[in-house]
């Protein structure tokens, strides 16, 4: 649909609208779906299969942390960044447990527009790839972790969200 409306592939659209404006050092890539029409090019998946360097992902996080701006220039509307945490609808999306948490544990996360929200006092949010890639954004911190999680995400993983939150608390306390 993006391609039909804009005339651009998903990757070209991302490059034109965001990647070229955040100071990215390397090209980013999308996994392509099957080549159903035989012309040799697949279609980029807009919901996953994204690959970029950790430094460039951190640049994306910094742009969002700064309300969608880089160097005083608005890259995306400020509402794109602010509604990640403020636009969570009522219902199930507000009551999510950490993966592999005991069934009787309280819900500590929300989920909105492909972002995990730890519901901390700072308004932090997290993008999490299926195989261990994470981008954590908080008012005083942008953290990227490119671990390797080869097995299913249903098994317990390192408590990185809690570590990111503690790091942010420490940085705020030392200002």
- Statement: residue 78 has pLDDT above 80: yes
Residue 161 is given by DSSP the state H
Cβ-based neighbour number of residue 170 at 10 Å: 11
- State the residue for tokens 């609808």: 89
pLDDT band at 79 (very low <50, low <70, confident <90, very high): very high
127: pLDDT strictly greater than 80: yes
The answer to whether 126 and 137 are in contact (CB under 8 A) is: yes
Question: Which of 9-18, 49-58, 136-145, 162-171 is the least confident region?
Answer: 162-171
**Mean pLDDT value across the chain:** 81
- Residue 32 φ then ψ, to 5°: -100, 145
Q: What Cα–Cα distance (Å) separates residue 125 from each residue in 13, 35, 119?
A: 24, 35, 8
Q: What is the pLDDT of residue 111?
A: 84
Question: In the chain, which ranges are continuous DSSP H helix?
Answer: 2-6, 10-17, 54-65, 78-86, 160-173
**How would you label 71-108 residue by residue, b for 16+ Cβ within 10 Å and e otherwise?**
eeeebbeeeebeebbeebeeeeeeebebeeeeeeeeeb
Q: What percent of the chain is predicted at pLDDT more than 90?
A: 27
Residue with the bigger pLDDT between 56 and 89: it is: 56
DSSP string, 54-104: HHHHHHHHHHHHTTTEETTEESS-HHHHHHHHHTPPSSGGG-BPPTT--TT
pTM of the model: 0.80
Question: For residue 42, what pLDDT is reported?
Answer: 66
**What are 22-52's pLDDT values in tens digits?**
999 999 887 777 665 555 566 666 666 788 9
Residue 100's pLDDT is what? 65
- Asked which of 70-74, 79-83, 158-162 is least confident by mean pLDDT, the reply is 158-162
β-pairing, 115-117 with 141-146? Answer: unpaired
Chain mean position to CA 106: 24
Q: Is 92 left (phi over 0), alpha (psi -120 to 50) or beta?
A: alpha
Q: Is the pLDDT of residue 120 over 70?
A: yes
């Amino acid at each position: 649909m993006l391609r039909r409306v804009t005339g651009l592939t998903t990757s070209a659209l991302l490059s034109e609208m965001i990647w070229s404006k955040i100071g990215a050092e390397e090209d980013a890539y999308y996994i392509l779906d099957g080549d159903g029409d035989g012309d040799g090019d697949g279609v980029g998946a807009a919901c996953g299969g994204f690959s970029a360097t950790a430094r460039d992902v951190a640049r994306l996080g910094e742009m969002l942390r700064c309300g969608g701006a880089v160097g005083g220039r608005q890259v995306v509307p400020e509402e794109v960044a602010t509604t990640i945490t403020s636009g969570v609808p009522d219902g199930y999306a507000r009551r999510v447990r950490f993966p592999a948490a005991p069934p009787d544990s309280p819900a500590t996360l929300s989920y909105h527009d492909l972002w995990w929200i730890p519901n901390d006092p700072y308004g932090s949010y997290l993008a999490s790839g299926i195989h261990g890639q994470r981008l954590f954004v908080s008012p005083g911190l942008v953290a990227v972790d490119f671990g390797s999680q080869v097995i299913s995400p249903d098994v317990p993983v390192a408590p990185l969200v809690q570590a990111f939150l503690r790091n942010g608390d420490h940085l705020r306390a030392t200002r």
